[in-house]
Structure 1
Amino acid sequence: MPILKNSSQDAVRPKTRRNSYVLPKLPVPPLQETLNMYLKSMRHLVTEEQYKTTEGIVQKFGARGEIGEFLQQQLIKRREREANWVYDWWLDDMYLRNPVPLTVNSSPGMVFPRQIFRDQNDQLRFAARLIAGILDYKVVIDARALPVDYARGQLAGQPLCMEQYYKLFSSYRLPGHQKDTLAVQKSSVMPEPEHVIVACQNQFFVLDVVINFRRLNETDLFTQLRKIVKMAENQEEQTAPIGLLTSDSRTEWAEARRVVMRDSTNRDSLDAIERCIFLLCLDSPSGVEQTDINLALQIMHGGDCHKNRANRWYDKTMQFVVGKDGICGLVYEHSPAEGIAVIQCVEHLLCYIKETSKKLVRADSVCELPAPRRLRWKCDSEIQRYLTSAADKLQRLIDNIDLNVYWFKTFGKDFIKKQKMSPDAFIQVGLQLSYYRCHGRLVPTYESASTRRFQEGRVDNIRSATKEAFDFVKAMIDGGPSISDSKKMELLWEAINAQTNYTILAITGMAIDNHLLGLRQMAMELQMDLPKLFTDETYLISNHFILSTSQVPTTMEGFLFYGPVVPDGYGASYNPHLDHIIFCISCFNDCKATSSTMFAKAVEKSFIQMKELCIKYNTKAKQSFMGNITQKVQNGRKLYH
């Protein structure tokens, strides 16, 4: 795609470098090691009776000449012919076959630093700069010229797959009756006219950002946004709040979309939304106190004010929210990309806005521009019933979400690093201690681990509820005076060590979740009876992630958050800074056992307790606790070369 002219000057643009490296393919882990790790990961999370049953099932599955060995060989053959043998199966299982509403359940949100807008023009100037920054970033994306990311933390320095970035502004999730479809637009030699969809007062408008092969500058965009706001105020022209349909369950929305598509006007409007670069949501004032929690809820679903709940279109990958009262952020559809790609994009945009805000934007464009176009919808009584139903269910979902944004200020990653510990491993063990403090047990835990070291790599799961973490939290909560603090410190190091080992396995393609998924899906693809391993109660428990966690670091004072993935679970994202950690904890109100406030208080108590333990006992004797992490991993599973 040719790079279009940009009438803005001094654009803030990432340095470019052609991607000239070839990444290895994701490995297929050894079968017996996966089965052994699976048993080890679940032994302390199920009853002894259940474990004995599972142990027998696993041993039979993995025995010589049995079904597991056959399926393993089929996976190895699949690896030879696919760029990434698990990607399609993983995408379907994680996202496209999940029928729950995207709102709250699937789409994460991100809160930007709060803006101060004196009037609506300030809001629109910020929005114009935001659009210009995205278009500037998209030039580099379209040229596939982003600088290559390199791994940080464990096994730092390895190049990473960049494909997720290239889907941020070209993807759309189509609802389906059986499963959704992730549609990705391909770049062409001759670019089509590019446009953004602007949502304002629950209406949708087409804002062309390239006219006569010229990219609109910030002044042009500001002029067009003012026209859209004026058009949206015309009560006589307003149409039904059709965006509500995208907040419904995927099967309901698929059926409603089929009905909507009967009319050619509606088809044209849907086509315009599905082909847009991104959505810009110009929100009305929320009317509530601007706490971190209220900011997050506003981004997630429109907030407590009814004005903005239909001012979204959840199927589009990137939706930027710019509120008249300064609430700004992003809600994104998760299937094309992980949080790190989104955060990198956002931080570039905020840098662009900061730099370009030093320049004045003229009040109006110097050239005459065609007016933006309002999208029209024809809604009969059947569509109205779908809208009413979707609105009712969205309200119940809004009432049900329990979210807490907790700033832990006692220490941050700087203190943890001084203990010679991995900040992520420390925080994960702390979350296990916090959950045990609340509920008296540990549960299957999901921590996303990037597999971008491989072609088309997305994530695998770090199972943080290790036996070593279990021993540590039991000692801390139940041990009493019978367990010395020095022993607790030893158990903490063993838990940190186990967490670090598993992290290395996950990022090198050697964790168990994707492998087990692949074995299961291979059996289904071959139309075989599903092996008993995958219908066993332990396997079902192991995939019910009551604690879903993710590290989402930013350099700015913003934060990313998401809802729980199961009805009785917690979502727990964390953003570690040098001297503090931002935790975003979510659960559902209709589960009486969970509470985000209770969990946040447990986090505070647990992390302070761990700090006190470290200060007292974490000396040079660390080496006797820790062992050689790299050697342990190599003894268990070879790192890829």
Structure 2
Amino acid sequence: QTLDMYLTSIKHLVKEEQYQKTKSIVGKFGEPGGTGELLQEKLLEKSINTHNWVYDYWLDDMYLNQRLALPVNSNPAMVFPNKTLEITKTHSSIFAAHLITGVLEYKKHIDTRALPVDFSRGQLAGTPLCMKQYYRLFNTYRLPGLKRDTLVIHKTGSTEQEHIIVACKNQFFVMDLVVKEKTLREMDILRQLEKIVKMAENTEERQPPFGLLTSDGRTEWAQARDVLIKDSVNRESLAVIEKCLCVVCLDDPSGMEVGDTSRALLMLHGGGHEKMGANRWYDKPMQFVVGEDGVCGTVCEHSPFEGIVLVACTEYLMKFMTGSPSKIGRATSVSELPAPRRLLWKTTPHIQGLLKASAERLQRLVRDLDMDVHKFEVYGKEFIKKQKMSPDAYIQVSLQLAFYRCNGRLVSTYESASIRRFHEGRVDNIRSATPETLAFVKAMTDEKTSLSDSEKIKRLWDAINAQTNSTIAAITGMGIDNHLLGLREISQEIHMEMPEIFTDETYVASNQFILSTSQVPTTVEMFCCYGPVVPNGYGCCYNPQADHLLFSVTSFHGSTETSSAVFIKALDEGLVEMRDLCKTSNKPQSNAAAASKAVEKSQGLHPTSDTCPGTW
């Protein structure tokens, strides 16, 4: 079944000659008694002895083996609502203190296992979901390695994690959260933050911007870290950071005009070493940014958890901050607190050279990123739901239409699908560039004048249904990407020569996701963003709201094949054309739509609900 689905997913994306070659390779792999069957048996054996047979393979392949720098390439960001702008412009330390108080409240829920169990929404709604990712929000750290990083997991509620790191003016300070066995109150936190801001202004004690090293490629950072830990002072500072609860970055004004796109850029990479890029520690999964100019949000190291878990955490914090009034001014400190500690570093000419090289590489990344945050206001998900269509499937088809309009072809596409229905489940891939979608986008472009509206709407329904079926397969553990990954990786575990199916140019190309997409819906006015996963690709994160659709599109200036603004323009045009097509087709429901409804009824689906297959 996996091999058949694989061939179907790539046939229309490659030349016929290449497809026939791949079909032959796949057929040989799947022969009875052949290599595929042997690897399948080994995978079944592994599944008997593990909670989740794909988890370690997936974590290594998706994150820990990757050598690119974390900013832009891996770490996503969540940009806080506009209303935080005015609050923080005059009271950034008060805002930060209230935020930290909310973090401590949320962590208390985690430590006491008081979080309510999540249930799936949209397709196959009502299924309980694995909660393990929540317990890795604050107690993990991505340690750089020369060839492979390590996800360090501290014991929940450990006394080693009773502090946070505060970054201010590229300096790092330790703020103990528990003093004399008592957790700091909000007024205490504010006073400590004010002390840190004052200490950071002391230029005589200022340390080099060591946070820059974490923005570098993973191998380069691992090599630099090996140099640092030769000195006990550096070793101690690193140990304190690696065990912290979270990082809070107090940013100076960026000097940029504050808009959605500029805020997203500052979250993703800090604007480079000349702005806030060094006022970060990118290895820490939860990093909160509070800017004096009101630019606030989170930057996340992605390996411990998916975006939907981040959304749940940040929405809790936003609701805490608006629904729970600040206690500052109504409470006093119980005692005089010890001053926060500035982390010290020992530097050498060699280390100075490493810092300079990291700064230059970060700056190149900053210059290269092409970001466009766009609010499509013609209609939102409510219009789509009135068409009896899944908003997610509809938007995915619109993305394919935009890409085809820009490039005259479809490409291997990634849409993440949550598999938290399974213990330790993370995501599988919904391959959105289906043959049915290709037929639809051609109907709207190349064949636009030769086809009737009724044929176009039929093709739209075919594309929607194909996307829906792919979603159902992925979220129920029947996707192909994790299965193929497992077969590939277990072949290496048993020291087999890599099977030809995995060295074939089609397989390699099919895993180069030129279009990397994800739905990240929020109930609070926030939005998520991330970078492309290949040099000539797009990253597209979307947030469907009732009356508008929000898109964060990224690409690289260095590619002649991409332009975020051009893609957004094509997306706008396609969304309007799809609306017009739906409006002109006020006819009895098509056979395709009726068939879709029958499938939905038999499988307990809710076609008009918000489909949320997953995120990142």
The answer to whether the superposition gives a TM-score over 0.5 is: yes
**Counterpart for residue 134 of structure 1:** 103
Q: Residues 590-609 of structure 1 correspond to what in structure 2 (within 5 A)? A: 590-609=558-577
Residue pair 1:193, 1:210 contacting (<8 A) in 2 also: no
Displacement of 1:302 after TM fit? Answer: 1.2
Counterpart of 2:92 (choices 117, 123, 126) is: 123
Displacement of 1:367 after TM fit? Answer: 2.1
TM-score, with normalisation over the residues of structure 2? Answer: 0.95
**Counterpart for residue 168 of structure 1:** 137
Counterpart of 1:150 (choices 105, 111, 119) is: 119
Amino acid in the other structure paired with 1:410: V
Displacement of 1:187 after TM fit? Answer: 2.7
**Counterpart for residue 231 of structure 2:** 263
Deviation per CA, 1:386-444: give whole Å up to 9, x if none: 10100000000000000000000011110000000000000000000000011100000
Amino acid in the other structure paired with 1:277: L
Amino acid in the other structure paired with 2:523: T
**Counterpart for residue 518 of structure 1:** 486
Q: Given the alignment of the two structures, is residue 579 of structure 1 paired with residue 547 of structure 2, yes or no?
A: yes
Amino acid in the other structure paired with 1:445: T
Counterpart of 2:128 (choices 159, 164, 167) is: 159
Amino acid in the other structure paired with 2:137: L
User: What is the CA–CA distance in structure 1 between the aligned matches of 2:505 and 2:370, rounded to whole Å?
Assistant: 29
Displacement of 1:117 after TM fit? Answer: 4.8
Residue pair 2:161, 2:243 contacting (<8 A) in 1 also: no
Amino acid in the other structure paired with 1:356: S
**Counterpart for residue 24 of structure 1:** none
**Counterpart for residue 449 of structure 1:** 417
Secondary structure at the counterpart of residue 555 of structure 2: strand
Counterpart of 2:426 (choices 440, 458, 461) is: 458
Q: 1:255 to 1:152 in 2, by over 3 A?
A: same
Q: Residues 66-215 of structure 1 correspond to what in structure 2 (within 5 A)? A: 66-114=34-82, 115-117=84-86, 122-187=91-156, 191-192=159-160, 194-215=162-183
Secondary structure at the counterpart of residue 335 of structure 1: coil
Counterpart of 1:221 (choices 182, 189, 192) is: 189
Q: Given the alignment of the two structures, is residue 244 of structure 1 paired with residue 212 of structure 2, yes or no?
A: yes
Secondary structure at the counterpart of residue 275 of structure 2: helix
Secondary structure at the counterpart of residue 449 of structure 2: helix
Counterpart of 2:459 (choices 476, 481, 491) is: 491
Q: 1:68 to 1:118 in 2, by over 3 A?
A: closer
**Counterpart for residue 8 of structure 2:** 40
Q: Given the alignment of the two structures, is residue 345 of structure 1 paired with residue 313 of structure 2, yes or no?
A: yes
Deviation per CA, 1:87-117: give whole Å up to 9, x if none: 0000000000000000110000111013245
**Counterpart for residue 381 of structure 2:** 413
**Counterpart for residue 52 of structure 1:** 20
Secondary structure at the counterpart of residue 550 of structure 1: strand
Deviates more, 1:610-619 or 1:311-320: 610-619
Residue pair 1:451, 1:457 contacting (<8 A) in 2 also: yes
**Counterpart for residue 26 of structure 1:** none
Q: Given the alignment of the two structures, is residue 281 of structure 1 paired with residue 267 of structure 2, yes or no?
A: no
User: What is the CA–CA distance in structure 2 between the aligned matches of 1:534 and 1:582, rounded to whole Å?
Assistant: 37
Q: Given the alignment of the two structures, is residue 293 of structure 1 paired with residue 261 of structure 2, yes or no?
A: yes
Residue pair 1:571, 1:587 contacting (<8 A) in 2 also: yes
Displacement of 1:473 after TM fit? Answer: 0.4
Amino acid in the other structure paired with 2:254: S
Amino acid in the other structure paired with 2:34: E
Structure 2: unaligned runs, 5 residues or longer: 604-616
Displacement of 1:301 after TM fit? Answer: 1.2
Displacement of 1:145 after TM fit? Answer: 2.3
The percent identity for this pair of structures is 57
Amino acid in the other structure paired with 1:319: Q
Residue pair 2:87, 2:95 contacting (<8 A) in 1 also: no
User: What is the CA–CA distance in structure 1 between the aligned matches of 2:376 and 2:505, rounded to whole Å?
Assistant: 37
Displacement of 1:382 after TM fit? Answer: 1.1
**Counterpart for residue 315 of structure 1:** 283
Residue pair 1:497, 1:629 contacting (<8 A) in 2 also: no
Counterpart of 1:547 (choices 511, 515, 534) is: 515
Residue pair 1:60, 1:66 contacting (<8 A) in 2 also: yes
**Counterpart for residue 7 of structure 1:** none
Residue pair 1:283, 1:308 contacting (<8 A) in 2 also: yes
Deviation per CA, 1:535-584: give whole Å up to 9, x if none: 00110110000000000001111100000000000000000000001000
Amino acid in the other structure paired with 1:187: T
Secondary structure at the counterpart of residue 159 of structure 2: coil
Q: 1:192 to 1:396 in 2, by over 3 A?
A: closer
Corresponding residue pairs, total: 602
Deviation per CA, 1:373-395: give whole Å up to 9, x if none: 00000011111111010000000
User: What is the CA–CA distance in structure 1 between the aligned matches of 2:353 and 2:517, rounded to whole Å?
Assistant: 37
Amino acid in the other structure paired with 1:482: S
Deviates more, 1:296-305 or 1:137-146: 296-305
Residue pair 2:88, 2:95 contacting (<8 A) in 1 also: no
Residue pair 1:553, 1:575 contacting (<8 A) in 2 also: yes
Counterpart of 1:379 (choices 326, 347, 350) is: 347
Q: Residues 524-563 of structure 1 correspond to what in structure 2 (within 5 A)? A: 524-563=492-531
Q: 1:353 to 1:52 in 2, by over 3 A?
A: same
User: What is the CA–CA distance in structure 1 between the aligned matches of 2:418 and 2:472, rounded to whole Å?
Assistant: 10
Q: 1:623 to 1:308 in 2, by over 3 A?
A: same
Q: Given the alignment of the two structures, is residue 506 of structure 1 paired with residue 474 of structure 2, yes or no?
A: yes
Query: Considering only aligned residues, what root-mean-square deviation do their CA atoms show, in Å?
Result: 1.7
Residue pair 2:442, 2:448 contacting (<8 A) in 1 also: no
User: What is the CA–CA distance in structure 1 between the aligned matches of 2:602 and 2:36, rounded to whole Å?
Assistant: 24
User: What is the CA–CA distance in structure 1 between the aligned matches of 2:168 and 2:328, rounded to whole Å?
Assistant: 25
Amino acid in the other structure paired with 2:100: I
Amino acid in the other structure paired with 2:515: L
Residue pair 2:272, 2:362 contacting (<8 A) in 1 also: no
Displacement of 1:355 after TM fit? Answer: 2.1
Counterpart of 2:199 (choices 231, 244, 256) is: 231
Residue pair 2:402, 2:567 contacting (<8 A) in 1 also: yes
Deviation per CA, 1:181-205: give whole Å up to 9, x if none: 00010136x7346000000000000
Displacement of 1:625 after TM fit? Answer: 3.9
**Counterpart for residue 614 of structure 2:** none
Amino acid in the other structure paired with 1:75: L
Residue pair 1:286, 1:304 contacting (<8 A) in 2 also: no
User: What is the CA–CA distance in structure 1 between the aligned matches of 2:492 and 2:88, rounded to whole Å?
Assistant: 58
Q: 1:232 to 1:364 in 2, by over 3 A?
A: farther
Deviates more, 1:211-220 or 1:622-631: 622-631
**Counterpart for residue 29 of structure 1:** none
Structure 1: unaligned runs, 5 residues or longer: 1-32, 636-641
Q: Residues 418-433 of structure 1 correspond to what in structure 2 (within 5 A)? A: 418-433=386-401
Residue pair 1:84, 1:456 contacting (<8 A) in 2 also: yes
Residue pair 2:88, 2:290 contacting (<8 A) in 1 also: no
Q: 1:119 to 1:408 in 2, by over 3 A?
A: closer
Secondary structure at the counterpart of residue 627 of structure 1: helix
Amino acid in the other structure paired with 2:113: R
User: What is the CA–CA distance in structure 2 between the aligned matches of 1:553 and 1:629, rounded to whole Å?
Assistant: 24
Residue pair 2:371, 2:552 contacting (<8 A) in 1 also: yes
Residue pair 1:574, 1:581 contacting (<8 A) in 2 also: yes
Deviation per CA, 1:176-233: give whole Å up to 9, x if none: 0110000010136x73460000000000000011112211111000000000000000
